[in-house]
Amino acid sequence: MSVLCEVMVKQIIPAVRVDVTKQLYSRYHFNQEYIAEKLGITQAAVSKYLSGKYTQEIKKLERDKIVKNISDDVIKAIIKKTFNKSSFEKTVCKYCMEMLR
């Protein structure tokens, strides 16, 4: 696994999950169970994200342009009901490949 992939998995993806969770909850009024199901995480993780109980590193990253772009794509797919694990992975990989250029 490349260093960039490790960064994506350990830092960027958690920040995307936080941002998507917050937006789906506050802007679209989805409940915690629905958000957890869509993101493939537990309801407890959703609750943790909504309460702000995660690392300062992720708090900084959730404002990052790449995180925002990935989050926006994920949210659009969830709203259009075209989102699944494969589409999430493809979205992340698309941005990762752009970062390598």
pTM for the whole structure:
0.91
Residues of the chain predicted below pLDDT 70: 1
Alpha helix positions (H), 8-84: 13-26, 32-39, 43-51, 56-61, 65-79
- Give the other-Cβ count within 10 Å of 83's Cβ: 19
Predicted local confidence at residue 4, as pLDDT:
78
- d(CA 9, CA 12) in angstroms, rounded, equals 6
CA dist 70 and 66 (Å) reads 6
- Where do the domains of the chain lie? 3-100
pLDDT tens readout for residues 28-47? 999 999 999 999 999 999 99
Token pair of 71, please? 């989050």
